[in-house]
Amino acid sequence: MKEQNISILEQRFQEKIDNDIKIEPRDWMPDNYRQTLIRQISQHAHSEIVGMLPEGNWITRAPNLRRKAVLLAKVQDEAGHGLYLYSATETLGADREELIDDLHSGVAKYSSIFNYPTVTWADMGVIGWLVDGAAIMNQVPLCRCSYGPYARAMVRVCKEESFHQRQGFEIMTNLMKGTSEQKAMAQDAFNRFWWPSLMMFGPSDADSKHTEQSVKWKIKRHTNDELRQMFVDATIPQAELIGLTIPDKDLKWNEERGHYDFGEINWDEFWQVVKGNGPCNKDRVDTRRRAKEEGMWVIEAANAYAEKIKVRKAS
Amino acid sequence: MTNKEWPLWEVFIRSKQGLSHKHVGSLRAADAEMAIENARDVYTRRSEGISIWVTESNNMFASNPNEADSLYEPSDSKIYRHPTFYEVPDGIEHM
Amino acid sequence: MNSLFEYLLRLGDDSLIIGHRLSEWCGHGPILEEDIAMTNLSLDFIGQATSIYKYAGEVEDKGRSADDLAFLRFDREYKNLILLEQPNGDFGMTMMKQFLFDSYRKPLFERLIHSSDDMIAAIAAKSLKETKYHLKHSSEWIIRLGDGTEESRNRVQDSLDTLWRYTSELFFEDSVDEELKSSGIVPSMDGIKKDWSSYVGEILNRATLTIPINNWEQEGGRKGMHSEHLGYILTELQYMQRAYPGMEW
């Protein structure tokens, strides 16, 4: 009887999703749907938060006042986006600090791109342009995802991120209009970040274990390979326009498909970075863990003070 | 590590004079003053609001979605509550 | 010496240097909400510095832009308070520095909005709005941390003991101020100091903190004589402009 009930509930749940009716926090949902969402949204949140670090690395060295303000605002937005997303997980019954502890203990994953170092100013350009560009490609379809709080958070995130990509492309454009040193700096950054950006869309569809169910639940609206292709198609003309050379000898326009063909991604590298062996994995996680540990006394003090005020008001 | 978290707060923002406050999300804060300031810093970075309400999430009470049938559907049949239910003869304006 | 230019550098460098220090927190705050809050403070200060330097460049009239003034002067030419270049330390130290400075900036801008110099009055009007919020934020934190746990009280009392020696410089005045006061461009420090002392005293009292005595008072920033910390700030701040001179970014 109980099993039968659940299958009826599941059937109704799927009907809602098929009819594009959003699922809201207190609605019945399959346990797997809830867990998959918590995993997906928290990974996304972790990526925003860890993603603050490679760019944060250049805030104090930004070349002029305008760039400094823009970079600060952008990195701050990432903190905001992480916060919106953690909020969405909390509507599913997750606890933000527990999720963050999973990040700090290495249990939880985040986007592998943030494990690459930012070694020159041009990296600020290429990250805004490519990394945020890839993120937008991923995120725009999620504004229509089936879970209401996630979809609403993504609407907000996408609205705010449109400036991120533009400021990155503006940095690249300026560099490519500049001196030979600046052009070389831009090309070098592009060479280093091009392939990792393509890896941001995750393993190829053949190796992606979550995709099918997630598409059915509409918490993922395109497959990894579809999104990757969209990204390549959109980005190549932009790179060519400002005079960058794409570091892929196999890249060519395929008239028949109406898409660019591109070379094989180095999946060994991808999996190594995912497993924690990227150039900055340890630094990134250690930095975030330290921020939390060193701030714990502040959290405790504010709680203690709030308690005192309650007591004083009551007496 | 033991987590000594701040309570969760729900944030409502009035985007401009004349509109009602709308739920925008949640955040963590130790007290109401901090919750308002955090809401200002987190949710109005692009001039999205001119007034903020916050309330601790555990003070929110919600209707049960399983009772939606009995709570909301009965009003669906009371179509006479809507002006379009009534016929107005041609030539009558401003009614 | 052009007194107005000199005064604007003091005002602008204060904003730049504290904004720079705050920006070091971005990504490292004790909790996400406060990380975002500190970046908002920093952005306000970078914005202030930009408009003040822009005007300073016009006053100087030698074709220097806001960026030239921010990025291309040497160590002894920066005129910020020594207080502001001090390292961030823990969150309590940063908030204490912020509190001591905000408590000075608010009465200063409240007077500068009446400056006979229209541009200064306009910059002060905008900055005052920001400063009121900064002060509310830092004051509340000082009270929370002071009256929070034993650990937080000890930490923030230590910060106060460390930073107090730099507070007399807030009210530094020399011939630059004298000249500008006589033409109604800047206010006297007397009233500002009075406001500062009474407000700081009140908040520290609520925070159950004790004002230290017998600290040797440190001054020099207003004349370009700094602590060793400024040099390292400039090393980062100026890196790009020095390494790639004259390029557009």
Given a cut of 80, whether residue B20 has pLDDT beyond it is yes
pLDDT per position as a tens digit, A210-244:
778 899 999 988 999 999 999 999 999 999 999 99
Given a cut of 50, whether residue B1 has pLDDT beyond it is no
DSSP state of A131: I
pLDDT per position as a tens digit, C139-177:
999 999 999 999 999 999 999 999 999 999 999 999 999
- CATH number listed for the domain at residues C3-211+219-243: 1.20.1260.10
Using CB atoms, which residue from B6, B28, B33 is nearest to C140? B33
Q: Do C26 and A301 touch (CB under 8 A)?
A: no
The whole-number pLDDT of residue B3 equals 58
User: Domain spans of chain C?
Assistant: 3-211+219-243
Residue C215: pLDDT band by 50, 70, 90 thresholds? low
Q: What is the mean pLDDT of residues B15-20?
A: 94
pLDDT per position as a tens digit, A61-110:
999 999 999 999 999 999 999 999 999 999 999 999 999 999 999 999 99
Say how many C-beta atoms besides its own lie within 10 A of residue C81's C-beta. Answer: 27
- Per the prediction, chain C carries an average pLDDT of 97
Shortest alpha-carbon distance between residue B39 and chain A (Å): 11
Task: Please tell me the pTM assigned to this model.
Answer: 0.95
B56, β-bridge pairs = B9
pLDDT per position as a tens digit, C174-188:
999 999 999 999 999
Q: What is the mean pLDDT of residues B63-81?
A: 84
pLDDT per position as a tens digit, A31-65:
999 999 999 999 999 999 999 999 999 999 999 99
pLDDT per position as a tens digit, C5-35:
999 999 999 999 999 999 999 999 999 999 9
The whole-number pLDDT of residue A206 equals 87
The whole-number pLDDT of residue A291 equals 97
pLDDT per position as a tens digit, B27-68:
999 999 999 999 999 999 998 999 999 999 999 998 888 887
Residue C46: pLDDT band by 50, 70, 90 thresholds? very high
The whole-number pLDDT of residue C53 equals 98
For residue A73, the chain B residue with the least C-alpha distance is B45
The whole-number pLDDT of residue B67 equals 82
Give the 3-state secondary structure of residue A23: strand
Given a cut of 90, whether residue B84 has pLDDT beyond it is no
Q: Exposed, middle or buried: residue A69 (CB in 10 Å: 0-12, 13-18, 19+)?
A: buried
Say how many C-beta atoms besides its own lie within 10 A of residue B70's C-beta. Answer: 9
Q: What is the mean pLDDT of residues C43-64?
A: 98
- Token representation of residue A158: 């996408």
Say how many C-beta atoms besides its own lie within 10 A of residue C109's C-beta. Answer: 25
- Pairing relation of β-strands B22-28 and B8-14? antiparallel
Shortest alpha-carbon distance between residue C27 and chain B (Å): 15
Using CB atoms, which residue from B6, B8, B45 is nearest to A80? B45
Q: Which domains does chain B show, CATH number per domain?
A: 8-81 (3.10.20.520)
Phi, psi of A131 (to 5 degrees): -70, -45
Q: What is the ipTM of this complex?
A: 0.96
Q: Is the distance from CB of A88 to CB of A145 less than 8 angstroms? A: no
Handedness of CA B34, B38, B39, B44 (dihedral sign): positive
Indicate the residue type of A7: S
Q: Do C40 and B6 touch (CB under 8 A)?
A: no
Q: Is the distance from CB of C56 to CB of C124 less than 8 angstroms? A: no
Shortest alpha-carbon distance between residue C155 and chain B (Å): 19
Could you give the CA distance from residue C119 to residue C153 in angstroms, rounded to a whole number?
Answer: 42
Using CB atoms, which residue from A79, A296, A304 is nearest to C35? A79
The whole-number pLDDT of residue A6 equals 85
pLDDT per position as a tens digit, A174-223:
999 999 999 999 999 999 999 999 999 999 988 887 778 899 999 988 99
Q: Is the distance from CB of C165 to CB of C219 less than 8 angstroms? A: no
Q: Do C29 and A295 touch (CB under 8 A)?
A: yes
Q: Do A64 and C249 touch (CB under 8 A)?
A: yes
Could you give the CA distance from residue C51 to residue C45 in angstroms, rounded to a whole number?
Answer: 10
**Which residues from A are below 8 Å from B62, CB to CB?**
26
- Per the prediction, chain A carries an average pLDDT of 95
